[in-house]
Copies of this chain bind each other. A is one copy, B any other.
Amino acid sequence: MNQHKATIHDVARIAGVSRATVSRYLNGRKWVSQDAAANIKAAIEQTGYVANSHARALVTGRAGSVAFLLGEPQKLLFEDPNFAALLRAVADELGKRGVSFILMTTDDQSEAKRNLAYLQAGHVDGVIQVAWHKDSSEMLNGLVQAGIPTVIAEQPSDETLPVGYVHVEDYGGARKACEYLHECGAKHIAMIAGPAGPSGTRDRMHGFLDTVATFDDDSNAASRIAHGDYSASSGEVAMAQLLDADPDIDGVFVSSDTMAVGAIKELRTRGLSVPDDIQIIGFDDSSAAMLADPPLTTIRQPFQAIGKHLVDQLMRIINGEQPVGVTLPTELVVRDSTR
């Protein structure tokens, strides 16, 4: 429509001020008179001016973008609906602040190397790392050593690392789940946990054990924990293990909805009904929970809020603040896999 894109120069000319003044106005700095501000505002509207982010980045030394880094073994993570939920939340939040991002996936070792090099080259101001399925400390260390502001969506295994993190109250969520199962009449509860390693797995296991200890008849609930890798098929396998070892199980706390779907499949194969014979409670409240048959009672993770805090944290760190950890609450969502 306009022959050429408007620059700060055009705005300055039309507003009858210098470029420096426009710049000050743009960046909300002091020393811009009411008059000047009004004129500039009008000029901006008239021209439809939008600052050129590259020119700005060049002079400020800030990229104006961050990386969303995915440590994804076995192509598993893209099948994990949680990932999409978090990505979406982060994208929303970033969009609101006008910072763009690049999505990097890390399938193998060599790719991890390439990614690290890219990030170290200063292409982005910071990184949001998600690695729910496996350990990621190597990448994390590389990032920290390069001095790149970083936040992660779990508790760091090494708490002394200067990275921000946000996660949900895993322990509390697990408690909530197990208590509800008990309220619904389950007497002999088992757990399908995620892969050992990430803090979330550990905390949820503690939540399960502590809760079950308060009302269980026997004392070795630990033997009723099986591990999966968050895939549906691993949930199937875990459920089979659990049942083979202890046929009296009448309730299962599953650490992800996807695994819960797998568990239900195994149960159906064995002719067991959910929730009549065995009650199931999932975790995440991902899209899989509603799709499941029966729809899953589950513990909701507030992905929107997680994304918001992740971005918030990262921006703070980029601005020089100390990284902190943020723990968000979970919420019980009752559907039909419990009585």
Contact = CB atoms under 8 A, between A and B. Distances in A.
A45 interface: no
B83 A78 contact: no
Contacts of A288: 291
Interface stretch (A13-21, A102-110, A150-158, A172-180): A102-110
Contact of A232 (B92, B261, B291): B291
Given A122-B50, A265-B293, A85 B78 contact: yes
A101 interface: yes
- Listed residue (A79, A105, A268, A290) with the most chain B CB atoms within 10 angstroms of its CB: A79
Interface string A39-60: 0000000001010111101100
Copies in the complex: 2
Interface in A235-264: 258, 261-262
Contacts of A58: 52, 54-55, 58
A5 B102 CA distance: 21
A74 B53 CA distance: 32
Given A262-B291, A265-B293, 15 more contacts: A50-B118, A50-B121, A50-B123, A52-B122, A78-B84, A78-B88, A83-B84, A84-B84, A91-B103, A95-B102, A100-B102, A101-B102, A232-B290, A261-B291, A288-B291
A328 interface: no
A197 B159 CA distance: 52
Given A58-B55, A100-B65, A121-B50, A79 B287 contact: yes
Contact of A258 (B55, B121, B291): B291
A114 to B, nearest CB: 9
A68 B84 CA distance: 15
Nearest to A115: B95
A333 interface: no
Interface string A258-282: 1001100100100000000000000
Contacts of A123: 50, 53, 100
A293 B265 CA distance: 7
A85 B261 CA distance: 21
